[in-house]
Amino acid sequence: MQHNALTRQYRAIFVSDLHLGTKACQAEAFLEFLRHCDTPRIYLIGDIVDFWRIRRGVYWPQSHNDVLQKLLRKARKGTDLILIPGNHDEVMRDYCGVVFGAIAIERNTIHVGADGRRYLIMHGDEFDVVVRYAKWLALFGDWSYALALWANTHFNGVRRWLGMPYWSLSAYLKHKVKRAVNYIGEFETALAQEARRHDAQGVICGHIHHAAIRMVGDVLYINTGDWVESCTAVGETEDGTFEIIRWTEISFGQDVGASLVEELEAAA
């Protein structure tokens, strides 16, 4: 691996919501991320390939193929790759327990941190009542979301022309709409409760495209975010600290990875 200012080393990396097969997927940015982040273990926590969108029409540029080839190559060279299917790639849930191309497919799993703490790994759609009980509404929401991302892409095209960094309009709106904020809070609470049920001290998930690391009661809640809006992942350092990797800010020269040292010490 070529080492430079962008290179980062982690004990484990957690990513979700690539949505390969959609025009909103930022595959080139994810390839750059994979080239510069060194780790022996990668967790792919759902919605890696968006089969919902593919069913409505195939969109598969070379960069999306390159992502899969890069991941498979890493697995062949010894990187542990664990895939936890999400709702958009739920067809893969039929293969849970199988190792495919050196990638282990699991419904959920437990990650043991450097400090010995247990973290439940799951996508999180099981605790989204819209996805679980009203799939037609979820599909309508998916269409609306795609429209918002289309607008977001053109908005950021102007920002790039002006020499400005990427900024997610849709993520900003999520933070400002009260109903969305309440939904995120309820989601976090439900995931924390599921972690307790598995005798875990933390939970690492995706699904809602909102990267976060914070304590929910006595549980460390970690959400990896996504690679269509914010280009985020989560990395565990060798000392067991988790941090949000905001790749567009790092590659733009603004490394603002969020450390959780204080919260971890407070929870100890």
- In this predicted structure, the answer to whether residue 107 has a pLDDT above a threshold of 90 is yes
pLDDT cut 90: percent of the chain above it: 60
- At 258, the amino acid letter reads A
Name the pTM for this structure.
Answer: 0.78
Nearest alpha-carbon partner for 8 in 173, 255, 262: 255
**Span of 37-41, 153-157, 185-189 with lowest mean pLDDT:** 153-157
What does the mean pLDDT of the chain come to?
Answer: 83
**pLDDT score, position 152:** 67
Beta-carbon contacts of residue 56 (< 8 Å; ≥ 6 apart): none
**pLDDT score, position 141:** 46
**pLDDT score, position 180:** 54
**pLDDT score, position 226:** 95
Beginning with the edge strand found earlier in the chain, give each strand of the sheet holding 212-216 in spatial order. 109-112, 118-121, 202-205, 219-223, 212-216
The span from the CA of 9 to the CA of 37, in Å, is: 6
pLDDT band at 258 (very low <50, low <70, confident <90, very high): very low
- All structural domains of the chain: 8-267 (3.60.21.10)
191-227 tens-digit pLDDT: 999 999 999 999 999 998 889 999 999 999 999 999 9
Backbone dihedral region of 10: left (phi > 0), alpha (psi from -120 to 50 degrees) or beta? beta
Q: Report how far apart the first and last C-alpha atoms of the chain are (Å, whole number).
A: 36
More confident residue, 183 or 149: 183
The alpha helices in 5-61, defined as continuous H runs, are: 27-36, 51-55
Sole residue written with tokens 């484990």: 12
Nearest alpha-carbon partner for 201 in 176, 183, 221, 175: 221
